[in-house]
Amino acid sequence: MRNVSERDGRRRLSAQERRHQIVESARAVFLRQGYAGTRTREIAEQAGITEAFLYRFFDSKQDLYKASVVEPMRELVAELQATANGIGASDFRGREVLRQVNQMLARFMDESAPFLAALWLRELGRGRVFYQEELRPLLGKPLNSVISKITGWNAPADEHSLIFAAMVGTHVAIAMDAMLRGERLDARRTADQLTQLFADGVPPSVAESLVEFSR
């Protein structure tokens, strides 16, 4: 007699596994079609389930969108907050913490680049809301906390805003460049290079070349 936990030769997924599968399927469909062009029926088909079964796990397309985009960012925020909380420990050095933050951002942006590109290039209105209500609030506070603890610099809000834009914007641009060239980002190497740039500035040889070029 066939085990009741199997159907058509496949193991029946637990509720947690099924939810994860639906989230991954939703992310894939959102990537292809954008938020406005996606239907929950298509997400269900991608996951190999019925639309009615999908609604046992999620109440709406908006809930699916949040689960496939916001939750991964919250995981990143938890890592950033843990890093910020550990900066005061004796075995932490500012430069190494900055490198860790850069590596986390590089990894996250590399994984998110296709979705962010689809969102910002195809659906600017929703992309603007996403940035203002989700991305910036989620990342802004822990990043500013890390910067303050590393430097001891209690900068005014507008200067923190500029630092946030420069740091996150740099990572977004690098990840987009890698995606458009059909390559995966080397998060460790990117983190090393950006940490050197942020901590030490442009190397003298490069700075001299830029001066010569501008003449």
Higher pLDDT, 124 or 210: 124
- Residues 74 and 150 placed together within one structural domain of the fold: yes
In a domain, 63, yes or no: no
- Residues 37 and 75 placed together within one structural domain of the fold: no
- Residues 189 and 160 placed together within one structural domain of the fold: yes
pLDDT of residue 150: 74
Segment 5-64, tens digit of pLDDT: 334 445 788 999 999 999 999 988 988 887 888 999 999 999 999 999 999 999 999 999
- Which residues, other chains included, contact 155 with Cβ-Cβ below 8 Å and sequence gap of 6+? 147, 148, 163
In a domain, 7, yes or no: no
Segment 90-132, tens digit of pLDDT: 555 778 888 888 998 898 888 888 877 877 777 777 778 878 8
- Residues 161 and 180 placed together within one structural domain of the fold: yes
Task: Residue 40: give its domain's CATH number.
Answer: 1.10.10.60
- Residues 18 and 100 placed together within one structural domain of the fold: no
In a domain, 116, yes or no: yes
Cβ–Cβ < 8 Å for 185, 178: yes
Provide the domain count of the chain. 2
DSSP H helices, 34-123, are: 40-47, 51-54, 61-86, 94-122
Last residue of a domain, one of 22, 39, 58: 58
- Residues 129 and 52 placed together within one structural domain of the fold: no
Segment 53-74, tens digit of pLDDT: 999 999 999 999 889 877 777 7
- Residues 44 and 83 placed together within one structural domain of the fold: no
In a domain, 8, yes or no: no
- Residues 83 and 37 placed together within one structural domain of the fold: no
**3 state DSSP class of 7:** strand
The C-alpha angle with vertex 63 and arms to 62 and 68, in degrees rounded to 5, equals 100
- Residues 108 and 204 placed together within one structural domain of the fold: yes
Segment 134-167, tens digit of pLDDT: 778 877 877 887 777 777 767 677 777 888 888 8
Task: Residue 139: give its domain's CATH number.
Answer: 1.10.357
- Residues 102 and 179 placed together within one structural domain of the fold: yes
Q: pTM of the full predicted structure?
A: 0.70
The C-alpha angle with vertex 174 and arms to 29 and 162, in degrees rounded to 5, equals 105
- Residues 103 and 194 placed together within one structural domain of the fold: yes
Q: Directed axis angle between helix 15-33 and helix 94-122, to 10°? A: 60
Rounded CA-CA distance 32/16 in Å is 25
Residue ranges making up the domain that contains 145: 68-213
